[in-house]
Amino acid sequence: MTGQRNMVGNEPDSLRLSDVEVMYGESIVALRGVSFDVPGGAIVALLGANGAGKTTTLRAISGLLGSARGSIRSGGINWAGQDLASVDAATLVARGMVQVLEGRHCFAQLTVEENLLTGGYVRRLSRRRQRAELDRVYTWFPRLRERRHSRAGLTSGGEQQMVAIGRVLMRGPRLVLLDEPSMGLAPRIVHAIFEIVRELNREHGITFLVAEQNAAIALEYADHAHVLDNGRVAISGPAAELAGWSGVKEIYLGGSAHLAEARRPP
């Protein structure tokens, strides 16, 4: 299954990376010929150990590489039938592609509700529609309604992750790039967040690409998964198959050199 390309089909929000190479500066190669698909309406996990290239991949998709002095040197990225080579990050957000950055990045001095409202500014919603969208976020995250007047910087890590996701949902996304949502959170909170991801996907058709070190939790909720190792796609397949494959652990612990000895998915 190594290097397998999964055909996307005609889904309007499908995403495809084709042989993408990314460099930082003039000498550091971060991604090497990365190719994979994210079907519209799916939850896809992007797995790998720390430094495997997950965050770089999300930045390449969302147009945020430049802020980290990175650039796409070859290959292409296509979303919803359009080549993204000349599309900037702000335009992608306006069209419905939004990234939740690793580490949550809330506005610490603003209240929870003020943080959420910033997510809706780009849509220029009426006051009535803005309130309706805010109430919908509070339905998904009841805890945020309770903490809506608290400064975001004084809330827990789990609450800040909810704020970060809720702020993105205020933008009315079609594709959400979620970077390490489990980082630093208790297992109970992580499961609650992934349950909401599943609900948003199933009930509202939002496509998710989730970069995650915690393979077990990601594979439990994803439809499909791609495992990165040293900037390359080491293996791709249905999440249910990869969840039972010993090779995933080998990639995390020993690198791709161990793949030949690992048992392949049935």
Using a pLDDT cut of 70, give the percent of the chain over it: 88
Q: Please write the tens of the pLDDT for every residue from 184-236.
A: 888 999 999 999 999 999 999 999 999 998 999 999 999 999 999 999 999 99
For the cut 70, the answer to whether the pLDDT of residue 64 exceeds it is yes
Q: Can you give the pTM of this predicted structure?
A: 0.87
Instruction: List CB contacts of 138: < 8 A, sequence separation 6 or more.
Output: 144, 145, 148
For the cut 70, the answer to whether the pLDDT of residue 260 exceeds it is no
Query: 202 near 226, Cβ under 8 Å?
Result: no
Looking at every residue in the chain, the average pLDDT score rounds to 87
At how many degrees (to 10) do helices 157-169 and 127-140 cross? 140
Res. 88 pLDDT band, cuts 50 70 90: very high
Chain centroid offset of residue 39 CA: 14
DSSP code for 151: B
Q: Where do the structural domains in the chain lie, given as residue ranges?
A: 1-94+174-266, 97-172
CATH 3.30.565.10 fits 1-94+174-266, yes or no: no
Report the C-alpha gap between 181 and 88 in whole angstroms. Answer: 24
Strand partners, 18: 76
Buried b (16+ CB within 10 A) or exposed e, 62-95: bbbbeeeebebeebebbbbeeebeeeebeebbee
Q: Please write the tens of the pLDDT for every residue from 157-193.
A: 999 999 999 999 998 899 999 999 998 888 999 999 9
pLDDT at 67: 85
Pairing of strands 43-47, 224-229: parallel
